[in-house]
Amino acid sequence: MLVFRNAQKLFAPNLRKTLLLGISCCAMAAQAAPYIPDNDNTIITRLPSAVVAMSQQLRATEGSRNDNPQELFAQAYRSYQLALSEQDPRAYGRTLAIIEQWPDNVSKPVSLRLIAAAVLQHNHEFAPALDELRSVLEEEPGNAQALMIQAQIGLVTAHYPLTQKSCDALVDRVERAFQINCQAQLDGVTGKADTALDTLTQELDSGRPMSRQALLEVHITIATIAHRLGENDMAGQHYLAALTMAPDNTYLLNNYAQWLLQQERYRDVIALLGSEPDPTSNVELGVMLTNALLSSPDAANSNRAESLIAELEVYFETAYRRGENLPVKEFARFALDIQGRPEAALEAAMKNWTSQKEPSDALLLAEAAAAASRQDVIENLRDWTDSTGMQYAALDTLIATGSAR
């Protein structure tokens, strides 16, 4: 199956990536010591049952290096599918660890290199991901999956010539709607958002056959571009159409929840996300749910918000104390919207900006800079949006307000 947006799943619907980079957090000292539990009964974190089962299975084979390519591929595939279903960073790390056992004297199959590239992309290790893709494309220049992952990395990092090259190479290699959607995504962030919307809506109205996955991608792209342009009726219509098709798509949920929050539709955010029992299963969604709960006048919602805040604080602190890379985008949003700590939010948002430059990253940086009264950051963002042609009504308002001070 061809997967376009975010290109993280090679064999199933796509999911939203999570950035893992290091930064100081909460009230901890910058040189905090590694976290050591007080006793053996201390619960550090709760693992999904599937992750526990996989770990037990893998521990049974520890002590001897596996050099059987067929077994390694099967293990890597199972681990990757588990990572996709659970969205647990440990499962992504385990997948890479399995791939690293591959014998040096045996060439890695293309499918394994694609899995490696997708995991590296998920971890925002873009340079090594592109290296894996480059090796695939040298062997198979028309490999559509590699081209689509490469296009997405170009979009995330604002390496737009790379995305254009990848979109062009998809012509006649994928279903027509996938290639059109690729170009529309690029046009949507480079000053041609109206053209992108026209092209996609015409494709929908044309009556041409379209696969379910392609239709989902088109709905998501129309929704997100209309969202940024402030075309709320269109955005809402296509967000809901996409959610009907893929209610668990976390990229879609993230964007839709953000759109609802921007319209102060807090009840709808709670209805959308409120059934999730563990806010750390997707921290970005957990932070947005907490924001909505805090904005509700209902006492029960306020109590749940306080509980979620405590869980999220433990999540961020534990990740830092274990020496893990902190998801800085999520922490920036948490520090800004929940903790009211604009300086900490700006530090994290700037760290995030060094790695990824999607519209939501630009908006987060602008919001944090405005809250921290950092006009220099806002001016730099204005120059960047002018150079790229980025169109985002909420971002434009923040930049105009900040520049006028």
Burial class from Cβ neighbours inside 10 Å (0-12, 13-18, 19+) for residue 7 reads buried
Inform me whether the pLDDT recorded for 194 exceeds 80.
yes
- Quick one: average pLDDT of 147-160? 98
pLDDT of residue 281: 77
What are the pLDDT digits (tens) for 26-49?
Answer: 332 233 344 444 554 444 455 554
What are the pLDDT digits (tens) for 165-181?
Answer: 999 999 999 999 999 99
pLDDT of residue 136: 97
Inform me whether the pLDDT recorded for 403 exceeds 90.
no
User: Comparing C-alpha atoms, which of 29, 28, 5 is closest to residue 17?
Assistant: 5
The rounded mean pLDDT for the chain is 85
The model's pTM is 0.83
What are the pLDDT digits (tens) for 249-303?
Answer: 989 999 999 999 999 999 999 999 988 777 777 899 999 999 999 999 999 999 9
pLDDT of residue 54: 52
pLDDT of residue 401: 87
Inform me whether the pLDDT recorded for 375 exceeds 60.
yes
Please list, in sequence order, all residues whose beta carbon lies within 8 angstroms of the beta carbon of residue 14, skipping any fewer than 6 positions away. 3, 4, 5, 6, 7, 8, 249, 251
Banded model confidence at residue 113, pLDDT cuts 50, 70, 90: very high
| Rounded Cα gap, residues 91 and 161, in angstroms | 32
Inform me whether the pLDDT recorded for 7 exceeds 80.
no
Inform me whether the pLDDT recorded for 17 exceeds 80.
no
pLDDT of residue 21: 26
- Quick one: average pLDDT of 304-329? 87
Banded model confidence at residue 84, pLDDT cuts 50, 70, 90: confident
Report phi then psi at 191, rounded to 5: 85, 10
